[in-house]
Protein backbone atom coordinates (compact mmCIF):
# COMPACT_ATOMS: atom_id res chain seq x y z
CA UNK A 1 0.00 0.00 0.00
CA UNK A 2 0.99 3.61 -0.32
CA UNK A 3 0.68 5.99 2.59
CA UNK A 4 2.45 8.23 5.05
CA UNK A 5 4.42 5.83 7.25
CA UNK A 6 4.87 8.37 10.04
CA UNK A 7 1.14 9.16 10.23
CA UNK A 8 0.15 5.49 10.19
CA UNK A 9 2.63 4.84 12.97
CA UNK A 10 0.90 7.60 14.91
CA UNK A 11 -2.45 5.82 14.42
CA UNK A 12 -1.18 2.55 15.86
CA UNK A 13 0.74 4.28 18.64
CA UNK A 14 -2.61 5.73 19.75
CA UNK A 15 -4.66 2.56 19.40
CA UNK A 16 -2.12 0.15 20.88
CA UNK A 17 -1.10 2.63 23.56
CA UNK A 18 -4.70 2.95 24.73
CA UNK A 19 -5.12 -0.83 24.77
CA UNK A 20 -2.15 -1.03 27.14
CA UNK A 21 -3.29 1.97 29.18
CA UNK A 22 -6.66 0.41 29.96
CA UNK A 23 -5.33 -3.08 30.66
CA UNK A 24 -4.52 -4.20 34.19
CA UNK A 25 -1.04 -5.34 35.16
CA UNK A 26 -0.46 -8.75 33.62
CA UNK A 27 -3.20 -8.13 31.05
CA UNK A 28 -3.14 -9.23 27.43
CA UNK A 29 -3.28 -7.20 24.20
CA UNK A 30 -3.71 -9.08 20.92
CA UNK A 31 -2.78 -7.59 17.54
CA UNK A 32 -3.59 -9.32 14.26
CA UNK A 33 -3.71 -8.44 10.57
CA UNK A 34 -5.41 -10.19 7.69
CA UNK A 35 -5.80 -9.60 3.98
CA UNK A 36 -9.34 -9.57 2.57
CA UNK A 37 -9.08 -8.99 -1.15
CA UNK A 38 -7.50 -5.56 -1.44
CA UNK A 39 -8.41 -4.61 2.11
CA UNK A 40 -5.99 -4.99 5.01
CA UNK A 41 -7.68 -5.28 8.40
CA UNK A 42 -5.62 -4.71 11.54
CA UNK A 43 -7.36 -5.70 14.79
CA UNK A 44 -6.17 -4.55 18.23
CA UNK A 45 -7.98 -6.28 21.10
CA UNK A 46 -7.50 -5.86 24.82
CA UNK A 47 -9.17 -7.61 27.74
CA UNK A 48 -9.17 -4.56 29.99
CA UNK A 49 -11.69 -2.04 31.28
CA UNK A 50 -13.94 -1.93 28.25
CA UNK A 51 -16.11 1.04 27.30
CA UNK A 52 -19.58 1.98 28.50
CA UNK A 53 -22.16 1.49 25.72
CA UNK A 54 -23.35 5.09 26.11
CA UNK A 55 -19.89 6.37 25.21
CA UNK A 56 -19.13 4.11 22.22
CA UNK A 57 -20.88 6.34 19.62
CA UNK A 58 -18.74 9.29 20.80
CA UNK A 59 -15.37 7.58 21.17
CA UNK A 60 -13.81 9.37 18.18
CA UNK A 61 -15.22 12.81 19.03
CA UNK A 62 -11.98 14.26 20.38
CA UNK A 63 -13.32 17.73 20.98
CA UNK A 64 -16.63 17.05 22.72
CA UNK A 65 -16.98 19.05 25.92
CA UNK A 66 -15.98 16.71 28.79
CA UNK A 67 -19.18 17.15 30.75
CA UNK A 68 -20.04 13.57 31.68
CA UNK A 69 -18.32 11.05 33.91
CA UNK A 70 -17.75 8.60 31.08
CA UNK A 71 -16.30 11.34 28.88
CA UNK A 72 -13.90 12.50 31.58
CA UNK A 73 -12.81 8.93 32.19
CA UNK A 74 -11.99 8.19 28.56
CA UNK A 75 -10.93 11.58 27.24
CA UNK A 76 -7.36 11.97 26.07
CA UNK A 77 -7.38 8.77 24.03
CA UNK A 78 -6.11 10.54 20.91
CA UNK A 79 -8.65 8.61 18.86
CA UNK A 80 -9.95 11.68 17.05
CA UNK A 81 -6.50 12.07 15.52
CA UNK A 82 -6.36 8.34 14.72
CA UNK A 83 -9.69 8.53 12.90
CA UNK A 84 -8.65 11.66 11.01
CA UNK A 85 -5.39 10.08 9.83
CA UNK A 86 -7.01 6.79 8.81
CA UNK A 87 -9.63 8.67 6.80
CA UNK A 88 -6.88 10.68 5.10
CA UNK A 89 -5.71 7.31 3.78
CA UNK A 90 -9.29 6.52 2.65
CA UNK A 91 -9.57 3.88 5.35
CA UNK A 92 -11.86 3.29 8.30
CA UNK A 93 -11.48 2.69 12.04
CA UNK A 94 -14.17 1.04 14.15
CA UNK A 95 -14.55 0.15 17.84
CA UNK A 96 -16.47 -2.53 19.70
CA UNK A 97 -16.87 -3.29 23.39
CA UNK A 98 -19.36 -5.50 25.19
CA UNK A 99 -19.24 -3.13 28.14
CA UNK A 100 -17.26 -2.43 31.34
CA UNK A 101 -14.78 -5.17 32.15
CA UNK A 102 -15.29 -6.82 28.74
CA UNK A 103 -12.32 -5.34 26.89
CA UNK A 104 -12.24 -3.32 23.67
CA UNK A 105 -11.55 -4.15 20.03
CA UNK A 106 -10.42 -1.63 17.42
CA UNK A 107 -10.41 -2.54 13.72
CA UNK A 108 -8.46 -0.44 11.22
CA UNK A 109 -9.13 -1.10 7.52
CA UNK A 110 -6.67 0.15 4.89
CA UNK A 111 -6.52 -0.43 1.14
CA UNK A 112 -3.73 -2.33 -0.65
CA UNK A 113 -2.43 -1.44 -4.13
CA UNK A 114 0.27 -4.01 -4.74
CA UNK A 115 -1.67 -5.96 -7.39
CA UNK A 116 -1.77 -4.81 -11.05
CA UNK A 117 -5.56 -5.01 -11.21
CA UNK A 118 -5.81 -2.69 -8.19
CA UNK A 119 -5.78 0.27 -10.61
CA UNK A 120 -9.48 -0.45 -11.14
CA UNK A 121 -10.25 -0.06 -7.45
CA UNK A 122 -11.50 3.43 -6.56
CA UNK A 123 -10.36 3.49 -2.90
CA UNK A 124 -6.89 2.25 -3.93
CA UNK A 125 -6.60 4.90 -6.64
CA UNK A 126 -7.51 7.54 -4.08
CA UNK A 127 -4.77 6.38 -1.70
CA UNK A 128 -2.19 6.30 -4.49
CA UNK A 129 -3.17 9.79 -5.58
CA UNK A 130 -3.06 11.11 -2.04
CA UNK A 131 0.41 9.82 -1.18
CA UNK A 132 3.43 9.60 -3.54
CA UNK A 133 6.13 6.96 -3.34
CA UNK A 134 8.16 8.78 -0.71
CA UNK A 135 5.18 8.72 1.65
CA UNK A 136 4.63 12.49 1.85
CA UNK A 137 1.01 13.47 1.45
CA UNK A 138 0.01 15.69 -1.48
CA UNK A 139 -3.46 16.44 -0.15
CA UNK A 140 -4.50 20.10 0.01
CA UNK A 141 -3.27 21.83 3.16
CA UNK A 142 -5.64 24.77 3.62
CA UNK A 143 -3.54 26.41 6.35
CA UNK A 144 -0.16 26.08 4.65
CA UNK A 145 2.12 28.90 5.79
CA UNK A 146 -0.39 30.26 8.32
CA UNK A 147 0.36 30.86 12.00
CA UNK A 148 -2.20 29.98 14.69
CA UNK A 149 -2.61 30.30 18.45
CA UNK A 150 -4.86 27.62 19.97
CA UNK A 151 -6.19 28.33 23.47
CA UNK A 152 -7.94 25.64 25.54
CA UNK A 153 -7.76 24.77 29.23
CA UNK A 154 -8.32 21.04 28.57
CA UNK A 155 -4.86 19.47 28.70
CA UNK A 156 -6.00 16.52 26.58
CA UNK A 157 -7.82 18.47 23.90
CA UNK A 158 -5.17 21.16 23.37
CA UNK A 159 -2.36 19.01 21.90
CA UNK A 160 -4.81 17.09 19.72
CA UNK A 161 -6.18 20.29 18.24
CA UNK A 162 -2.67 21.62 17.68
CA UNK A 163 -1.61 18.44 15.89
CA UNK A 164 -4.61 18.45 13.56
CA UNK A 165 -3.99 22.08 12.64
CA UNK A 166 -0.35 21.20 11.92
CA UNK A 167 -1.55 18.43 9.59
CA UNK A 168 -3.34 21.18 7.66
CA UNK A 169 -0.05 23.02 7.18
CA UNK A 170 -0.18 25.60 9.97
CA UNK A 171 2.50 26.68 12.40
CA UNK A 172 0.80 26.32 15.77
CA UNK A 173 1.39 27.90 19.17
CA UNK A 174 -0.67 26.80 22.17
CA UNK A 175 -1.83 28.28 25.47
CA UNK A 176 -3.56 26.46 28.30
CA UNK A 177 -5.44 29.53 29.54
CA UNK A 178 -6.52 32.99 28.49
CA UNK A 179 -3.90 34.49 30.82
CA UNK A 180 -1.17 32.47 29.12
CA UNK A 181 -2.45 33.61 25.72
CA UNK A 182 -2.32 37.25 26.82
CA UNK A 183 1.23 36.73 28.04
CA UNK A 184 2.20 35.43 24.61
CA UNK A 185 0.83 38.58 23.01
CA UNK A 186 2.60 40.71 25.62
CA UNK A 187 5.81 39.04 24.44
CA UNK A 188 5.11 40.16 20.85
CA UNK A 189 3.27 37.20 19.31
CA UNK A 190 1.78 37.82 15.87
CA UNK A 191 -0.60 35.31 14.29
CA UNK A 192 -3.00 34.79 11.40
CA UNK A 193 -5.72 33.16 13.50
CA UNK A 194 -6.77 32.70 17.12
CA UNK A 195 -8.75 29.54 17.94
CA UNK A 196 -10.06 29.82 21.48
CA UNK A 197 -12.29 27.89 23.83
CA UNK A 198 -14.93 30.00 25.56
CA UNK A 199 -15.64 28.31 28.90
CA UNK A 200 -12.27 28.74 30.63
CA UNK A 201 -11.72 29.52 34.34
CA UNK A 202 -10.72 32.98 35.60
CA UNK A 203 -10.66 34.61 32.15
CA UNK A 204 -13.05 33.21 29.54
CA UNK A 205 -12.85 33.38 25.77
CA UNK A 206 -14.99 36.50 25.53
CA UNK A 207 -12.79 38.38 27.99
CA UNK A 208 -9.66 37.18 26.18
CA UNK A 209 -10.76 38.66 22.86
CA UNK A 210 -11.90 41.91 24.51
CA UNK A 211 -8.50 42.26 26.20
CA UNK A 212 -6.60 41.63 22.97
CA UNK A 213 -8.76 44.15 21.10
CA UNK A 214 -8.15 46.75 23.80
CA UNK A 215 -4.42 46.18 24.25
CA UNK A 216 -3.35 45.41 20.71
CA UNK A 217 -5.90 46.85 18.23
CA UNK A 218 -3.50 46.73 15.28
CA UNK A 219 -2.57 43.10 15.80
CA UNK A 220 -6.20 42.20 16.52
CA UNK A 221 -7.23 43.65 13.17
CA UNK A 222 -4.71 41.37 11.47
CA UNK A 223 -5.90 37.99 12.73
CA UNK A 224 -9.08 35.94 12.44
CA UNK A 225 -10.74 34.91 15.72
CA UNK A 226 -12.56 31.57 16.02
CA UNK A 227 -14.60 30.44 19.03
CA UNK A 228 -14.18 26.64 19.30
CA UNK A 229 -16.60 25.78 22.06
CA UNK A 230 -18.96 23.26 23.58
CA UNK A 231 -21.58 26.02 23.83
CA UNK A 232 -23.52 25.07 20.71
CA UNK A 233 -26.87 26.88 20.95
CA UNK A 234 -27.88 29.56 18.49
CA UNK A 235 -27.72 32.18 21.24
CA UNK A 236 -24.14 31.07 21.96
CA UNK A 237 -23.21 31.55 18.32
CA UNK A 238 -24.75 35.01 18.27
CA UNK A 239 -22.98 35.96 21.51
CA UNK A 240 -19.61 34.86 20.09
CA UNK A 241 -20.10 36.92 16.94
CA UNK A 242 -21.25 39.92 19.00
CA UNK A 243 -18.10 39.60 21.12
CA UNK A 244 -15.97 39.97 18.00
CA UNK A 245 -15.30 36.40 16.94
CA UNK A 246 -15.33 35.91 13.18
CA UNK A 247 -16.51 32.30 13.38
CA UNK A 248 -18.31 30.12 15.94
CA UNK A 249 -17.40 26.41 15.74
CA UNK A 250 -19.32 24.04 18.01
CA UNK A 251 -17.65 20.99 19.50
CA UNK A 252 -17.29 18.23 18.41
CA UNK A 253 -15.45 20.02 15.62
CA UNK A 254 -15.80 19.15 11.95
CA UNK A 255 -12.12 19.58 11.32
CA UNK A 256 -12.12 19.41 7.52
CA UNK A 257 -14.76 22.12 7.29
CA UNK A 258 -13.13 24.20 10.04
CA UNK A 259 -9.66 24.35 8.49
CA UNK A 260 -11.14 25.29 5.13
CA UNK A 261 -13.20 28.07 6.70
CA UNK A 262 -10.23 29.44 8.64
CA UNK A 263 -8.06 29.44 5.52
CA UNK A 264 -10.72 31.33 3.57
CA UNK A 265 -11.21 33.88 6.38
CA UNK A 266 -7.47 34.52 6.62
CA UNK A 267 -7.24 35.10 2.87
CA UNK A 268 -10.23 37.43 3.02
CA UNK A 269 -8.74 39.36 5.95
CA UNK A 270 -5.44 39.84 4.11
CA UNK A 271 -7.22 41.05 0.99
CA UNK A 272 -9.20 43.58 3.01
CA UNK A 273 -6.05 44.90 4.70
CA UNK A 274 -4.26 45.28 1.35
CA UNK A 275 -7.21 47.22 -0.08
CA UNK A 276 -7.39 49.41 3.00
CA UNK A 277 -3.69 50.28 3.00
Neighbour count for residue 174 (Cβ, 10 Å)? 18
Residue 71 has pLDDT above 60, yes or no: no
pLDDT in tens, 172-219: 999 999 999 999 999 999 999 999 999 999 999 999 999 999 999 999
Question: By percentage, how much of the chain surpasses pLDDT 90?
Answer: 48
Residue 75 has pLDDT above 70, yes or no: no
Distance CA(277)–CA(273), nearest Å, equals 6
Give φ, ψ of 131 to 5 degrees. Answer: -140, 115
User: What SS3 state is found at 229?
Assistant: strand
Confidence grade of residue 13 (pLDDT, cut at 50, 70, 90): confident
Average pLDDT of span 106-134: 55
Residue 22 has pLDDT above 90, yes or no: no
State if pTM tops 0.85.
Answer: no
Burial string for 102-140 (b: 16+ CB within 10 Å, else e) reads: ebbbbbbbbbbbeeeebeebebbeebbebbeeeeebeee
The set of residues, in sequence order, having a beta carbon less than 8 Å from that of 264 and lying 6+ positions away, is 142
Distance CA(196)–CA(152), nearest Å, equals 6
Confidence grade of residue 140 (pLDDT, cut at 50, 70, 90): low
Amino acid sequence: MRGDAGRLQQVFNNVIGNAIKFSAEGGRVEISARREGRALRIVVRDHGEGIEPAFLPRIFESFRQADATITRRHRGLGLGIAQHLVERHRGTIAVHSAGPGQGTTFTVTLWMDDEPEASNDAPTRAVAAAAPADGESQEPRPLEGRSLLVVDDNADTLPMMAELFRLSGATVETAGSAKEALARFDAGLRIDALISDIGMPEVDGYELLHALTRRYPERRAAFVAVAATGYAREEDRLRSLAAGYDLHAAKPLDFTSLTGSIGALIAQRRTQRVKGS
